[in-house]
Amino acid sequence: MMAIVSPSLLAADFLHLEKDIEMINKSGADWLHLDIMDGMFVPNISFGFSVLDAIAKVLDKPMDVHYMTMRPEDYIERTAKLGAKSMNVHIEACGERLPDIIRRIHTAGMKAAVTISPDTPVEAVRPYINDVEMVLVMSVYPGFGGQKFIEATIGRIHALRNMISECGSKALIEVDGGVGASTAPRLVKAGCDALVSGSYIFKADNPIEVIDSLKQLTL
């Protein structure tokens, strides 16, 4: 099975978003990864629903929406209305509200994903591993693009893959941050299913070829 590729729009040219989305539509990308930041859970702010609405009108790929916000539950219904395939929420932000948030995401017709930051133990996911369709592992600290890959992520992917097997879960593993030529093959070998890649794709001379090269990695 080939790796799932989800280009991160955070690394696109915001002055020419339509051009970059047209490129994604023509490419072999499986999803489009959209990072939503509130300036509180992370210090940056990205884009809001006016931009998301415009993107949804021209995008042919499923939307993989990642909320780096303190209260992602406030946006569940609006995210579903966009036609998003999945909604990723940070375990660190949700706390004891997480079971209800997962339920509400499913009720809204989307797949649910939990996201863990680099300092959060993989074991924190265990109580939810059979309730979600995906676990997003951050391989950089959330909130900024273009960071260096954290090498400890490889071991975290191995541990998460073992947990998924032990629990009989069908959850996919997605990785976001510093995914490129040197890291992607090792991530897939460790058990990663889906690769979120930003700068490596959007800053390339031929982004479509880069996407194709990532998709050739086999699980």
Query: Which residue in 35, 38, 64, 193 is the catalytic one?
Result: 35
* Count of beta carbons in the 10 Å neighbourhood of residue 27: 19
Q: Are 11 and 35 in contact (CB under 8 A)?
A: no
The Cα angle at residue 204 between residues 134 and 52, in degrees rounded to 5: 50
Please give the Cα distance from 219 to 201 (Å, whole number). 20
Calculate the alpha carbon distances from 59 to 82, 105, 149 in Å.
11, 22, 29
Query: Which residue in 30, 64, 176, 193 is the catalytic one?
Result: 176
Sheet holding 63-68, edge to edge: 4-7, 194-197, 172-176, 134-138, 111-116, 86-90, 63-68, 32-37
Q: Are 75 and 34 in contact (CB under 8 A)?
A: no
The verdict on whether 119 is a catalytic residue reads no
Query: Residue 175's beta-bridge partner residues?
Result: 137, 195
* Count of beta carbons in the 10 Å neighbourhood of residue 208: 15
- Nearest C-alpha neighbor of 17 from the set 40, 34, 42, 41: 34
* Residue 195 token pair: 């690769």
The verdict on whether 176 is a catalytic residue reads yes
Instruction: Catalogue the active-site residues.
Output: 35, 176
